[in-house]
Amino acid sequence: MRHWIVLFCFLSVTAWGQTGYKLDFTVKGWKDTTAYLGSYYGEQTRLNDTARVNSAGKFSFDNVKPLPQGVYFIVLNKSKIFDFVVGASQHFSIETSADDFSKALVKGDTDNKLYFENLQNNIARGNEADPYIAILRDSTLKEDQKKEAREKFSKISDQVMAYQKQLIANNPTTMTARLLKTTQTIDIPPAPKKADGSIDSTFQLRYYREHFFDNFDLADDALIRLPRPTYLEKVKEYLNKLYAPVPDTIMMAIDGLVERAKKNPETYKYLVWSCMFLYQNPEVMGLDEVFVRLYDKYFATGAMDYWIAASMKKSVKEYADKLRTSLVGKTGANLIMQDLNLQPKSMYDIKNKYTILWIYDPECGHCKEETPKLVEFYNKNHTKFDFQVFAVASDTSLQKMRTFIKNMKIEPWVNVNGPRSYLPQHYSKLYYAESTPSLYILDREHKIIAKKLPVKQLEDFFTRHEKFVQNRKTGVQKSTKLTP
């Protein structure tokens, strides 16, 4: 019985000794220098630890706290030297050479053995493929002369994919397998026929949406720590390519992703924050509403309080509040300000079909470049599209405003001075305009229908919007006629 107790105590001590991490390295050709342990995090890199390299090229990183799983790298002289993986086993050694870091002797860790074996397989297959790639890139050859090279290259590619699929199947929980799995494509089956015999045209889109993340676990925070910002890229591709750029639609898609990611506090945080970043200043007009709705749902409610600092949360709130008053589709606030004669002018008094709100700084170089373009568009199209410009100068100086109006020849517009206002709050609280010039378009009901458009896109926008409105009216009329 005493022997069993001694053995149990020995095993307990051994197990206790395996907490944290201890990563031993030997790099032939290195000596008497300092190496750093680095890691990836989304689009950023971080330094996690420091070690002194001795005269034999040996160095170690260790700590009582384990490392988050992911891909890590060694840094020497401010340069990233080579990658390796950190998975469940964090007590191992890697021996390599400064002449070829891809060749490594790994002890104590199956994960890194798999990682470097896959690396060597990729190099070997790459060397085999090089002559065929050269032929395929040769612009002097005709396509039929490349046929054999294309077939050979395809065969090698298939071998690489088969090797990786086998590795994943045999070692599914390893960091190496999870890394490789993110590169696997989704096979989309042919669209089936519907009951009436026609092809189900939306099947493949629905299938791809449903299976898009089959090879990517949104709740695995190790996938944030990859050499490429794969997590962010996958989310961005999913939202941008598989859903219409409409706030309601995008929010529905994001909420579905959050449900998958929130099992893990780290991925929950990263996913929500990444989406905030994507829609902070979106390329598609109107999608900044997603930023506001994300703030309201995940920050204002306190759901993100477990990680976000109070100062950062305050900044996010302030930005969301600046955006929310001037979102596309919302009713724009009225602006009442003094003109050059110190007389009040109300934007709502404009009776045209459309109002272009133009906020500028009289001394802004970009404003001086863009305003003449708007003048040209106004002179050519203000009757055609039935619009007027309500121009707001951001500077208090009436003299600067007067000079700008004269030089830019914008006398036909409704010109007012922003700071000389009859409103209880500054106009920037009603229309987000931290950069100048800023442009908003309101319809006859004062609804914001566009903003931040370059002047060169105005004609196309008005043409498309007029067509959209007309088609909608026609559709309503047809629907009304069909109603019994």
pLDDT tens for the chain, 484 residues long, are 444 444 444 344 344 456 899 999 999 999 999 999 999 999 999 999 999 999 999 999 999 999 999 999 999 999 999 999 999 999 999 999 999 999 999 999 999 999 999 999 999 999 999 999 999 999 999 999 989 999 999 999 999 999 999 999 999 999 999 999 999 999 999 999 999 999 999 999 999 999 999 999 999 999 999 999 999 999 999 999 999 999 999 999 999 999 999 999 999 999 999 999 999 999 999 999 999 999 999 999 999 999 999 999 999 999 999 999 999 999 999 999 999 999 999 999 999 999 999 999 999 999 999 999 999 999 999 999 999 999 999 999 999 999 999 999 999 999 999 999 999 999 999 999 989 999 999 999 999 999 999 999 999 999 999 999 888 877 655 544 444 4
User: Tell me, what's the pLDDT at 68?
Assistant: 97
Structure tokens at 396: 């208090």
CA distance 291 to 90: 39
What distance lies between CA 315 and its chain's CA centroid? 20
Q: In DSSP terms, which residues pair with 63 in a beta bridge?
A: 21
The confidence score (pLDDT) of residue 472 equals 81
Residue 160: CB atoms within 10 Å: 16
What proportions of the chain, in percent to the nearest 5, are helix, strand and coil?
45, 20, 30
Burial group, residue 479, by CB count within 10 angstroms (0-12, 13-18, 19+): exposed
Three-class SS of residue 217? coil
Furthest-apart CA atoms within the chain: distance in Å: 103
Of 313, 216, 328, 322, residue with least CA distance to 273:
313
The predicted structure's pLDDT at residue 240: 96
Cα gap 397→60, rounded to integer Å:
66
Sequence length of the chain is 484
Calpha distance 21→63 (Å, rounded):
5
Which ranges constitute the DSSP H helices of 171-222?
175-181, 203-211
Confidence (pLDDT) at 474 = 73
* Sheet with 79-86: strands ordered across: 44-53, 33-41, 70-76, 79-86
For residues 30 and 98, the answer to whether their CB atoms sit within 8 Å is yes
Cα separation, 24 vs 104, in Å, equals: 13
Q: Are 30 and 42 in contact (CB under 8 A)?
A: no
What pLDDT does 475 receive?
A: 63
Exposed e or buried b for every residue in 97-133, given b needs 16+ CB within 10 A? beeebeebebeebebbbbbbebbeeeeeeeeebeebe
